[in-house]
């Protein structure tokens, strides 16, 4: 991360009210209790999401808390974004909190000991050791990047991905093959056609709306709901 922009985001579900880590990007020399220069998403006691960042092992820090508890047993999306010296927490596509102290400022986050841990935290542990503050629930679609997604980006990600957590929604390729042999995008219908040896899977966003069962060997061309395939 250094002194640049960055984000952490994931979907989660829990009924626990314990303090536990969703995603921790932190270090500390192996075998110590040092936190390093962390950039983390944590659930505080009572079910409140927090973004934490510190350049000096939490001697000083920026802490950003969502005012609403989300340990209700339902799937929620969270994003923690660093944009310049500012930090933001998003819940279910909406910005719900930001930092007011600017303690991190232009200082560097992460160092040579930093590792990404999903569902726990490292804090000086050797690679492969048990993480601290394990998350009591489910986590999905965890991702990290060196950029600062905009409000528009975050709501799009939320709206696109929430179909994964709806009942009876098809979001995978049809059949047994993951080897994609051809792609065709119909701009007029906003449908992506994906070919495999099992057939053609048609997606609008992340939802498969149709499929065929004749294998695709090399090409798909699509326009205005007219499809040519081979």
Q: Express each pLDDT in 116-170 by its tens digit.
A: 999 998 887 766 666 789 999 999 999 999 999 999 999 999 999 999 998 888 9
- Both tokens of 13, joined, read 């579900």
Residue 211 is predicted with a pLDDT of 96
User: How confident is the model at residue 132, as a pLDDT?
Assistant: 86
Residue 118 phi, psi (nearest 5): -100, 125
Rounded CA gap, 116 and 139, in Å? 14
Predicted pLDDT of residue 34: 86
Position 225 scores a pLDDT of 87
Instruction: Give the model's pLDDT for residue 22.
Output: 97
Residues whose CB falls within 8 Å of the CB of residue 166, separated by 6 or more in sequence, listed in order: none
Q: Which residues of the chain have a pLDDT value below 70?
A: 126-130
């Amino acid at each position: 991360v250094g002194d640049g922009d960055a984000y952490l985001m994931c979907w989660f579900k829990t009924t626990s009210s314990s303090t536990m880590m969703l995603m921790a990007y932190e270090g500390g020399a192996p075998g110590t209790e040092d936190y390093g220069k962390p950039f983390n998403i944590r659930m505080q006691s009572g079910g409140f999401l927090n973004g934490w960042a510190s350049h000096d092992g939490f001697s000083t820090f920026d802490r950003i808390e969502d005012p609403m508890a989300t340990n209700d047993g339902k799937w929620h999306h969270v994003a923690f974004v660093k944009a310049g010296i500012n930090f933001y927490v998003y819940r279910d596509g909406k910005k719900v909190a930001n930092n007011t102290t600017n303690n991190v400022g232009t200082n560097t986050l992460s160092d040579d000991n930093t590792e990404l841990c999903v569902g726990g935290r490292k804090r000086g542990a050797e690679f492969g050791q048990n993480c601290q503050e394990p998350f009591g629930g489910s986590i999905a679609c965890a991702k990290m990047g060196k950029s600062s997604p905009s409000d528009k980006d975050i709501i799009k990600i939320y709206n696109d991905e929430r179909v994964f957590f709806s009942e009876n929604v098809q979001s995978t390729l049809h059949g047994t093959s993951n080897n994609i042999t051809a792609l065709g995008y119909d701009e007029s219908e906003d449908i992506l056609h994906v070919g495999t040896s099992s057939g053609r899977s048609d997606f609008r966003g992340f939802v498969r709306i149709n499929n065929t069962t004749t294998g695709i060997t090399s090409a798909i061309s699509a326009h205005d709901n007219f499809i040519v395939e081979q």
